[in-house]
Amino acid sequence: MTTSQVSPQTTTLRILRGTVTNGKLVQQTQDFTVPYDATTTVLGALEYVKGELDGSLTFRRSCRASICGSCAMVVNGRSRLACKTKITDLLGGNEGKNIASAEATVGDANVIEVGPQRNQPVLKDLVVDIAPFYQKVKDILPYVQEGPEQEEHVTKDSFSQVNMVSNCIMCGACYSDCTAMVENPSFIGPAALAKAYRFVSDPREGNKTERLKELSEKNGIWDCTRCGMCIDACPKGVAPMEAIVKLRSLAMEAGITNNDGARHAMVFKDDIATWGVLNEPFMLLKTKGILGSIAQIPNALNLAKVGKIPNPFPFDHKVDKLDEVKAIYAELKKNPLDVKTKAADSGPGAG
Amino acid sequence: MVKHDIVIIGAGLAGLRAAFEGVTAGLNTAVVSKIHPLRSHSCAAQGGVNAAINPKDDWHHHAYDTVKGADFVGDQDSIDMMCAEAPQAVLDLDKMGCPFSRENDGTIAQRAFGGQNFPRTAYAADRTGHAMLHTLWEQAIKYGVHVYDEYFLMEITSDAGRATGAVVMDIRSGKLQHLQAKAVCVATGGYGRMFAANTNAMTNTGDGIAHAMRAGAPAADLEFVQFHPTGLLRSGILISEGVRGEGAYLIGADGQRFMQKYAPNKLELASRDVVSRSMVTEINNGNGQNGGVFLDVRHLGKALILERLPQIRQLAMDFEGVDPIDQPIPVRPTCHYTMGGIRTDKLGQSIALKGLFAAGEAACVSVHGANRLGANSLLETIVFGKITGKDMVDFVNNREGRDGVATDGSHAVAKVSARIAALKGRPREGGVRQNTIRDTLVNEMQENCSVFRDEARLNQAWAAIQTAKAGLAKLYVDDKSEAFNTDVITALELENLVLMAEGTVATAMERKESRGAHSRTDFPTRDDENWMTHITAGYDHASKGVVLGRDAVRTTGNPQYAPAERKY
């Protein structure tokens, strides 16, 4: 792409607009031509449309400095802050789309597609109903509680874990891109869980174990699929999935293992350590028990129909270089994921 | 109609802190906010909050620094109270769970800020306001404050000199309703959006102050507008004074530091008004580049920048395309804070309208006088949020508020409804687009009423205000719908902003001296004989314009607070 100084350059914003009439959402795209230069943001372009072309275009915005979290929306298939996303970073193949958008016109380099966040009901144009998102944050009881596990003394490093997640601005980008949410809308989601980790990791919090118990219940930490989308989506580097992984480690460490998620994690680990590969039928049996496994039979048959059922026989099921797999586990045992002191990112997929 | 004991407009730090007092005292407390509380602009405050926590520090020094910073027109009783209460107010927040940065021994860490004799600025990395706001929001959830989330203030209602509540619009549905209250508190922040270059959120349009003026509670100190030295050149986004506190330099296009010429002792950490004027003088003398100078942190080293200034680095990279580790950051003085607000007594109640309170940037208590010190704004929000909250509780339980005022708000709702209908009914033909009015207004204010002012410029700004007012009468909106009509909201915000601009220009014309942030090139010196006073600005419904008055500076008789020349 050339960075020519010829002005004004223009591009097309293809905005997915929507109105709710009698409780029914009707959406359609509308194209607007907007001028831009090297510093124009998507928010700037939206403001241009609203100010000069069509005042009825509706979106939230406030600080324009990526700290208030108002303007998260889907831009070229990904959830982002409009105020932080520059037009020039989107054009001419400057960035790859990591999700195929249903509305996308693939290959049109001079069109930027803007739509409302996903996983939330649309109220109007780019505005979604944020109440369910915030209800889930409220559900984790988002405040430091007095209790038996409260530590009186705080040191310089006490908040290093807290700080890792307290960058969160509750913009909802992670929630919008969460794939587990698509399958289970009751999943409390990455932002609320990151917020929960903020309290579990705070030395002043008095009910850490109680919180971990609650979070290990249905729709909690074990419902995350660890796809990593929330890490990509977060405009503030919070890495919610990291926090979820740490919550899982802490929960298991605290002996909160009487749930499908923890059992699944333990069986998973045992399988890999023993065989080097997963043994799905046994895994299911050990995670869900006999009755639970029988209940999964329709699901398994559905998977079989589309060719996604793995080898059901627990034999001939070992990798060649099992010693290397065992070496990895030995290494992990020696250097476990640090969930207490350091805030250093442990990288996607850790744990 | 809904009844509450206390209705607070605005859910930033001051509003939520006041709400904490109301709800923990057992009163029915509601907060109204046009955006979700966590979106409030308090979240953008980076640097920190001043408090003489360190045993080697003394709140009296903090108070003196504040009186001097205010250029001796701040109210001394409020300043003393704020500085004395500061340590406890910070410790309150800490106890609620705010993750303030720590020293090795666990005490709250503090850094140096401009215009002060001691490093007394407590902080949470470089997102102090954000950390504090989230903490107070957490408390609002814990104690069950009723939050009217995404409700817009349409009118403050009053009856016989008493505030009685507010007419608000549920933005989601467009429906109007009257919230009746025994005490009303305005905590809607400032109105810095009236300038083209500003660090403010787009929502900072002075709604609460404008409506309070219309309801009979005058504002004061509107002429004092703080231009922060280091807004990013292109976007105006704020780069915290904390960066200079960490040792950053200001350099001109020639690559040299220049503050030694203007403030030989404090250099880059002189008071904000002093630094901003120095920068504009350098730029006017040809030592600028593209209308700005540079903030240089390269000598601080990569490690320190990454550890203590991570957000700052990110902002510079995102919005200016510059990595401060390798390049100086282009900056210019940018409207940051409005010292003016609803004129109140020492505890935050309007001097004219009973039952109307104000806290934070929306109030003129006045602890900042003609110029606010860095990190005193977060302090004001938590100290006066608390004090004003307590005073409202007392007002409701033990004073005039006890019996309340039974007002049927239906008449007010009908009036507001008619206003909206008229706005939506205005034709496009022969009408004016709100953007046209806004763009002209902010550019004229920037050009003629910012860092340096004189009579000719102010006359021009006054003419621009009259043009804007005429434009408002012809303003049309594209969106005629009920639900989430942000076209209507921004038009109403513009009406509020124009009133605030009118008050700012009128008081700037009135004050014929230079003091603090108000710098008149035609009256270059401070005139204590004639101008040791607040200028008030009320709204006159007959002339549809502002009327000016005077209100005395509250003094304590402390001889140390006698006006002296301000040197840094």
Average of pLDDT values for B286-296? 96
pLDDT higher than 50, residue B39: yes
pLDDT tens for A46-96 read 999 999 999 999 999 999 989 999 999 999 999 999 999 999 989 876 554
* Closest chain B C-alpha to A76 CA, distance in angstroms: 19
If you average pLDDT over residues B235-253, what whole number do you get? 91
Contact B351, B343 (CB under 8 A): yes
Amino acid at B533: T
Q: Known catalytic residues of B?
A: 272
Indicate if the alpha-carbon torsion angle A159, A162, A168, A173 is positive or negative.
Answer: positive
Residues of chain A positioned with their CB less than 8 A from the CB of B40: 68
The dihedral region occupied by B492, where left means phi > 0, alpha psi between -120 and 50, and beta the remainder, is alpha
Please tell me the distance in Å from B345's CA to the nearest CA on chain A: 31
Q: Buried b / exposed e across B318-346, counting CB within 10 Å, b at 16+?
A: bbbebebbeebbbbbbbbbbbbbbbbbee
* Contact between residue B550 and residue B531 where contact means Cβ atoms under 8 Å apart: no
Per-residue pLDDT band for A350 (boundaries 50, 70, 90) equals very low
pLDDT at A3 over 50: no
Q: Are A108 and A31 in contact (CB under 8 A)?
A: no
pLDDT of residue A7: 55
Q: What is the DSSP string of B345-407?
A: -TTSBBSSSBTEEE-GGGEE-SSSTTSPPTTHHHHHHHHHHHHHHHHHHHHHHHSGGGT----
The fold for domain B426-526 equals Methane Monooxygenase Hydroxylase; Chain G, domain 1 (1.20.58)
Q: Give the per-residue pLDDT at A157.
A: 86
Dist CA B406 CA B403 (whole Å): 9
**In the predicted model, is pLDDT for residue A100 greater than 60?**
no
Please say whether the beta carbons of B565 and B528 come within 8 A.
Answer: no
One-character DSSP codes across A152-218: ----TTTTHHHHHHHT-----HHHHH-HHHHH-TTS-HHHHHHHHHHHHT-TT-S-HHHHHHHHTST
User: Would you say the CATH fold of B426-526 matches that of B229-334?
Assistant: no
Instruction: Tell me the per-residue pLDDT of A190-209, one tens digit each, with 9 for 90 and over.
Output: 999 999 999 999 999 999 99
| 8 A C-beta contact, residue B484 and residue A58 | yes
Hey, is the C-beta of A185 within 8 angstroms of any chain B C-beta? no
Instruction: Tell me: pLDDT of A1 over 80.
Output: no
* Minimum CA–CA partner of B102 in chain A: A156
Nearest CA in chain A to B435: A51
What are the extents of the domains in chain B?
A: 229-334, 426-526
- Selection from A270-274, A318-322, B87-91 with the highest mean pLDDT: B87-91
Mean pLDDT check: name the lowest of B17-26, B232-241, B369-378, B454-463.
B232-241
Which band of pLDDT confidence, cut at 50, 70 and 90, is reported for residue B526?
A: very high
Interface of A with B in 86-125 (CB under 8 A): 123-124
In DSSP notation, A275-319 reads: HSS--HHHHHHHHHHHHHHHHTHHHHHHHHHTT-------SS---
Rounded distance between C-alpha atoms, residue B157 and residue B410, angstroms: 11
In contact, A351 and A249? CB cutoff 8 Å: yes
Distance of CA B48 to the CA centre of its chain: 15
pLDDT of residue A6: 52
Q: How far is A349 from chain B (nearest CA, A)?
A: 25
Q: Would the pLDDT of B441 be above 60? A: yes
- CATH 3.90.700.10 for domain B229-334: yes
pLDDT of B100 above 70: yes
| Predicted confidence (pLDDT) at residue B443 exceeds the cutoff of 90 | yes
Q: What are phi and psi of A20, to 5 degrees?
A: -105, 120
Going from N- to C-terminal start, the domains of chain A cover 10-127, 130-277+318-351
DSSP E strands, B112-190? 121-122, 146-149, 151-159, 162-170, 176-186
Question: Do the domains A130-277+318-351 and A10-127 match in fold?
Answer: no
- Nearest CA to CA, how far is A225 from chain B (Å)? 28
Which CATH number does A10-127 carry?
Answer: 3.10.20.30
Q: In this structure, are residues B296 and B251 in contact, taking their beta carbons and an 8 Å threshold?
A: yes
- pLDDT tens across A254-276, in order? 999 999 888 888 888 888 888 78
Residue A118's nearest CA partner among A182, A39, A35, A31 is: A182
Neighbours of A201 (CB within 10 A): 25
Indicate the pLDDT class of residue A98, thresholds 50, 70 and 90.
very low
pLDDT at B448: 96
In tens, the pLDDT along A228-254 reads: 999 999 999 999 999 999 999 999 999
- Answer left, alpha or beta for residue B444, where phi above 0 means left and psi between -120 and 50 means alpha: alpha
Q: How many CA atoms lie within 13 A of B386 on its CB side?
A: 17
Cα A204 to Cα A140, A159, B12, B96, B443, distances in angstroms = 17, 10, 25, 10, 49
A158 contacts B172? CB cut-off 8 A: no
Between chains, do A55 and B434 touch, taking CB under 8 Å as contact? Answer: yes
> From A125, which residue of chain B is nearest by alpha-carbon distance?
B484
A130-277+318-351 placed in CATH 3.40.50.20: no
More confident residue, A106 or B207: B207
Check CB contact of A160 with chain B, cutoff 8 Å: no
Q: Nearest Cα to B528, choosing from B545, B516, B517?
A: B516
Determine the average pLDDT of the residues in B360-378.
Answer: 96
pLDDT, chain B, mean? 96
Residue type at B299?
Answer: H
So what's the pLDDT on residue A30? 98
Q: Give the Cα separation of A350 and A337 in Å (integer).
A: 8
Q: Which residues in chain B are contacts of A123 at CB distance < 8 A?
A: 172, 483-484
The size of the A-B interface in CB pairs under 8 A is: 134
Cis peptide before A293 (omega within 30 of 0): no
